[in-house]
Structure 1
Amino acid sequence: MTMCIIALCNFLVGGLIGICGIAGFLLPMLYAGGLGYSVQLSLTLSFFAFLISGSIGSWNFHKQGNLDLKFSTFLCGGSVLGGLVGVMLNSLIPATQAKTLLYLVVLLSGISILYRNRNTTAVAKERHELLDSKAFVVAVGVVTGAICSLSGAGGPVLVMPLLVVLGISVHMAIGIALFDSIFIALPAFVGYCYQLDALPWTQFLLVGVTHGLGTYLGSRNAHKINQKPLKTAVSVGSIVLAVYMLSTLL
């Protein structure tokens, strides 16, 4: 039954990521809150999935011309360092506090998605001059990478809206954020693997197949689906789940 739940949820979350670039933060919630896995195992499985969805999703956006590789180089360089910092910080936090942080990130992510989804009247902004500063872009990568690696957020839920605010088009921002999520996930995945007594090879295989298939199908059919109600459902569900899980820790 546990394997069936993992397969189904990874397929569905992969599909959501392929369609609109969000929902990865639900996976560590599933593992830690729903299945009772340790924080380290939950994050290991989650970041393994993010490696897959980030690779598939960013490749599709690259083929569509929505991935600025030159800009992404500096962002991703910072994210690698941030990912390592996040793993080290997580190892210093007690399990209960780590779960609290995870649920808070899910809650805030759901609220953020709901707010952005309702605020559809925003006009496009000019590209901010800060994006021309390599030091600033690297710093953004370090900070967002550390937060995502520490909490289990996939990356796009933090990086994508920040890039949009700074004047990058939405589709380009999603493509960059998905590509950046690879470089957050890689050091995080390796770091959390080292904290496990044994690697869950069966789960890795199951996650790889189901999450990859969901991401592929979602990205192939994204243009056919109205994303607004989908994002609303994800955000409301995330908020309800996070509030419930936080209440269990009180």
Structure 2
Amino acid sequence: MLTYLVAFILFSNFFVGILLGISSIGGFLLPLIFVGFLQLPLRDSLALSFFSFAVAGLIGAYYYWKAGNMDVKLATYLSIGSIPGALIGVKLNVLIPDDTAKLLLYLFVLLSGISLLVKNKNSNNNGPNGITKSRILDSKASILIIGLISAAICSLTGAGGPILLVPLLSNLGISIRVAVGVCLLNSVVIAIPSVFGYFQYTDMDNFAILLAASILGQIIGTMIGSFLSNKVKLNHLSVSIALLTVVSSTYMIIVLFI
């Protein structure tokens, strides 16, 4: 049984790592697989997931930074806001019903994905994504607030930060590739306090073995995905992210009501 569990976790992280490396979206699948399919304890699943997010974020962010697709200033202010946000999310996890928090997140993600599809279709090339950069991003306070709220939601529900931030930043005028790079780096900042928060609640036997399998699969998958991402055209990447966002959020909403 343990061998099967280790193998499945290894493969799951490998597959999700490829998605994260290519688009920075897909991390939300891990807690869904761990809790829904493998029926692991919730907080053990979240601890494993956020460890994986941290590994994937570091590797992916490096590749995007190396390719020149990183706004360091934007990532820094988002991350400053994300640290307390992640801690708040962990604390709220024990107070707010999981289904309620997930439903709010998935509805927001669904609307963001639809909006990104529409904006991509109607792009007039006025900015990085066919729209002018929003003045919201000129305000340090606004960026800090975005980082805090998104991190709180992500750490609360177990969803990866990029699933929420990539479409949001894209709609605010940041190019898709830069948005992905920024969000991968930010996901590391969200993951670290979340890991410490959920790790204290883990009680599974063989947790260290499962964690090692998660990290190994994530490293290999993210490196492959990050390499492939540079070979994807910008508009294709934009559409892929939007479609993945819409499909995944719709699926999760349906699952909540089954």
The TM-score bracket by the shorter chain reads: 0.7 to 0.9
- Distance in 2 of aligned mates of 1:140 and 1:234: 19
Secondary structure, aligned partner of 1:154: coil
Q: CA deviation at 1:131?
A: 1.6
* Distance in structure 1 (CA, Å) of the matches to 2:75 and 2:204: 34
- Shift in Å, 1:224: 3.5
Q: What is the SS of the residue equivalent to 2:230?
A: helix
Any conservation in 2 of the 1:77–1:141 contact (CA below 8 Å)?
yes
Change beyond 3 A, Cα 1:85–1:209: same
Structure 2 counterpart of 1:166, one-letter code: L
**5+ long unaligned stretches in structure 2:** none
Partner Cα distance (1:233, 1:141) in 2? 22
Who is 1:34 aligned against? Answer: 37
RMSD: 2.4
Q: Which moved more, 1:125-134 or 1:168-177?
A: 125-134
Q: Deviations over 1:60-84 (max 9, x none)?
A: 1111111121222111010011000
Stretches of 4+ aligned residues off by more than 6 angstroms: none
Quote how far apart the aligned CAs of 1:130 are.
2.3
Residue in structure 2 matched with residue 239 of structure 1 by the alignment: 250
Q: Which moved more, 1:111-120 or 1:72-81?
A: 111-120
SS of corresponding position for 2:90: helix
| 2:63 and 2:226 in contact (8 A); partners too | yes
Q: Distance in 1 between matches of 2:39 and 2:134?
A: 43
TM superposition shift of 1:239: 3.0
**Identity, % of aligned pairs?**
36
- SS of residue paired to 1:187: helix
Q: Report the equivalent of 1:98.
A: 98
Q: What aligned pairs does 1:120-159 form with structure 2 within 5 A after superposition?
A: 120=120, 121-123=122-124, 124=127, 125-159=131-165
Deviation at 1:18, TM superposition (A): 0.6
- Counterparts of residues 214-225 of structure 1 (less than 5 Å): 214-225=221-232
TM-score by length of 2: 0.84
| 2:48 is the counterpart of 1:58 | no
Paired residue secondary structure (2:12): helix
Question: In structure 1, what is the equivalent of residue 214 of structure 2?
Answer: 207
Cα deviation digits, residues 162-203 of structure 1 (max 9, x gap): 212222222111111111111111101110001223581111
> Corresponding residue for 2:18?
15
Normalised to the residue count of structure 1, the TM-score between the two structures is 0.87
